[in-house]
Amino acid sequence: MTNENITLTQLIERLTAKEDSTNLKYIEYLKSKRIFNHDDSLPLSLDVYYPLLDLIKLDIMYGMIRYRCDKFLYDEFKSRTGRKRTAFHVTAEDRLAMARRLLGHCCNEEELTAIADSKTVRPYDRRSSRDKADLLFNLLSYYFEDKIKFDTDRQMLHYKDGEEFKEIRNYSVCSLAMSLSDPVFPAVDMYEMERAIKILIQQPEFQYKD
């Protein structure tokens, strides 16, 4: 299968028109690309993979990535704590403010409060490259489940379209990692995303079978 030719403007219009769009932040990223490049063609990293935007709730995934991996955001909200005021933390009020900024357009107040109050999900709790890759693997596993399959022998990625799977030929782990990581760089980078995808495609449930 060869993807139809589509411009950046057309893709933005398609995503914006969806009543249940959960890719509004991705749309903002695309608009910034159009302004920066002075060009209406799709970024190279997205040219092959844009059909996946109809399947995956990237805004929620990206919101969680930034909540847990973005040092710049953490630095904005952190405050000093401890007797000598040498340690840093993010208060409960600021955790909720962070969650609202990142996910307020796609999560309700109860969900946002649950994130802010969580003892296991904390701001900037994934700092090392290994921890970030582990988080990315878990998020991709959740959002790709039953929607994305990989055929490594024939270098094809299969994605769910209605009741059937369509194919993207000549995909590569590197280009897929680039397309998924660009909007949240530098919170995570292409290499951390690539590492997560390499683990993902080894899982039996993500391997395509005729």
Q: What is the pLDDT of residues 54-82, one digit of tens each?
A: 888 889 999 999 999 999 999 999 986 64
How far is Cα of residue 162 from the mean position of the Cα atoms in its chain? 22
pTM for the model stands at 0.87
Looking at residue 207, its pLDDT comes to 94
**Where do runs of H (alpha helix) occur along 5-128?**
8-17, 24-37, 44-47, 58-69, 71-77, 92-103, 109-117
> Which residues of the chain, if any, have pLDDT below 70?
1-4, 19-21, 33-37, 44-45, 80-87
Closest CA to 48 of 210, 164, 172, 165: 172
